[in-house]
A = this chain, B = another copy of it.
């Protein structure tokens, strides 16, 4: 998606060879007009697919998912990062390893909102090692719902998550795929 790539070049900040800060428009300050374009692009990519629910993960996926959901006319469900030890029996849960924060945490969704008859599109802002996306995939599997695919804004294609998940036969559509990046040479997209 050229619009997103251009915005990343203009407002993204590369640190070292693997950190890309996009907090000017994507995951701290949020440009909702851009989100509308992103949502319409996901709709175009998944045209013809029946989708009944969009699943994302807190916090930075929520805004993009909600704006995209307007294009699909379906509800959003966001997986919560669990803060308590007590998990009641009425939730699906999976584990996510955060490379940024160096720890493993549980994510949960209420069983009431993820049903076997659901056809689910996953949406998130970033795909790198794929930990968060794998966690969401596990939740969909636990529910016995159909996984239609994933819509990602920025994929660091030099990290293994995207390939690993595509190798599972899961459709992953990333709007900006970064082949390589560095502070010196900037960003190269696929």
Contact = CB atoms under 8 A, between A and B. Distances in A.
Nearest to A81: B59
B70 A36 contact: yes
Interface string A108-125: 011011000000000000
A101 B83 contact: yes
B76 A30 contact: yes
Contacts of A184: none
A32 B78 contact: no
Contacts of A30: 62, 66, 69, 75-78
A110 B113 CA distance: 34
Interface string A7-51: 000000000000000011100111111011000000000000000
Interface of A: 23-25, 28-33, 35-36, 58-59, 62-67, 69-70, 73, 75-78, 80, 83, 101, 109-110, 112-113
12 contacts: A28-B77, A28-B109, A29-B77, A30-B77, A32-B76, A33-B73, A36-B70, A59-B78, A62-B66, A63-B63, A63-B66, A63-B76
